[in-house]
Amino acid sequence: MKGSEIPKRCCSYKYSLFNAMNRFIGAVNNMDQTVMVPSLLRDVPLLLEELDAAGAVCPPRDAALPDMYSHYMLLKSIRNDIEWGVVQPPAGEEATRKKDKLGGGPAEEGEGEEDLEQQFHYHLSGLHSVLSKLTRKANVLTNRYKQEIGVSSWGQ
């Protein structure tokens, strides 16, 4: 495909990364407005069926379940990273970390750039999938909080 040729895609923006980010941010904002006392979330485990509904990998039945407060803080942190950006490590540290992670030496000039479009689509697809799971997780947490405080009819 030449640079000037744009593949025809569905006319809907439903599957755009921008909309996925907006849905996630909206769900976390709703969660944040609903959860008036975050400390009430401590020691309240997310139930296995709620983890399933949120698309999370479920721990073994005998393992301790994560509490709602840790999920609440994680979701807020990710929202802040999306809205404000992530602090990048200095260039030297990042290169060393990548080298250690990949287990190799310095990359040759141009290596890894031969199929940037494929890499982009792979990461875009992954990011979209993760944002969808995080959005479900925020909605599940919000609904569970409403049940815990006895206000399950809010927003319905």
> How do residues 23-53 score in pLDDT, each as one tens digit?
999 999 999 999 999 998 887 777 756 656 5
Dump the DSSP string for 114-141.
Answer: TTHHHHHHHHHHHHHHHHHHHHHHHHHH
Distance between terminal CA atoms of the chain? 48
Question: What proportion of the chain, given as a percentage, has pLDDT over 70?
Answer: 61
Is residue 50 a contact partner of residue 137, using CB atoms and an 8 Å limit?
Answer: no
Residue 64 has pLDDT above 70, yes or no: no
Position with higher pLDDT, 51 vs 17: 17
Tell me the pTM. Answer: 0.67
What does the domain layout of the chain look like in residue ranges?
13-84+125-149
Position with higher pLDDT, 70 vs 95: 70
Position with higher pLDDT, 40 vs 96: 40
Interval 69-98 mean pLDDT: 82
Question: Could you give the 3-state DSSP secondary structure of residue 45?
Answer: strand
